[in-house]
């Protein structure tokens, strides 16, 4: 679903679930958004994250974002996984 370009900072864009069946440090997962964008991750509870809007959007500047969510566990060596999220921006001021 497109995100309106006038969406408020803090708007939830997607809900994500991340899990690792290991215990201890090997089961702890860190997540990040790449590349830097107007979106960020907020941990809502164990293994669940919200992809949220962190700054204002301007559809005339960028009409769609390709965001990669990267997850890495605390093991040595660490295991990594990533998934892409496409975020289209809808125009609100054109007739």
The CATH number linked to 34 is 2.60.40.60
pTM: 0.85
Domain-embedded: residue 63: yes
Can you give the pLDDT at residue 51?
A: 96
Is residue 59 in a domain?
Answer: yes
- Considering the domain boundaries, does residue 19 fall inside one? yes
Q: What is the dihedral of CA 78, 84, 90, 91, to 10 degrees?
A: 70
Q: Residue 16's closest CA among 37, 43, 53?
A: 43
- The gap between the terminal CA atoms of the chain, to the nearest Å, is 20
Give pLDDT, residue 94. Answer: 63
Q: How many domains does the chain have?
A: 1
83 part of a folded domain: yes
* pLDDT score for 35: 92
CA distance linking residue 6 with residue 3, whole number of Å:
8
In a domain, 95, yes or no: no
**Residue-wise pLDDT tens for the chain (95 aa)?**
899 999 999 999 999 998 887 777 777 888 999 999 999 999 988 889 999 999 999 999 999 999 999 999 888 888 899 999 999 999 987 65
pLDDT of res. 14: 94
Is residue 79 one of the residues assigned to a domain? yes
Domain with 55, as residue range(s), is: 3-90
């Amino acid at each position: 679903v497109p995100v309106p370009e006038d969406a408020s900072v803090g708007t939830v864009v997607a809900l994500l679930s991340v899990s690792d069946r290991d215990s201890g440090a090997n089961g702890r997962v860190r997540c990040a958004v790449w590349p830097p964008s107007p979106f960020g991750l907020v941990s809502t509870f164990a293994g669940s994250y919200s992809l949220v809007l962190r700054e204002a959007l301007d559809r005339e500047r960028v009409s769609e974002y390709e965001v990669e969510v990267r997850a890495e566990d605390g093991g040595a060596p660490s295991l990594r996984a990533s998934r892409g999220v496409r975020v289209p921006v809808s125009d609100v001021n054109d007739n």
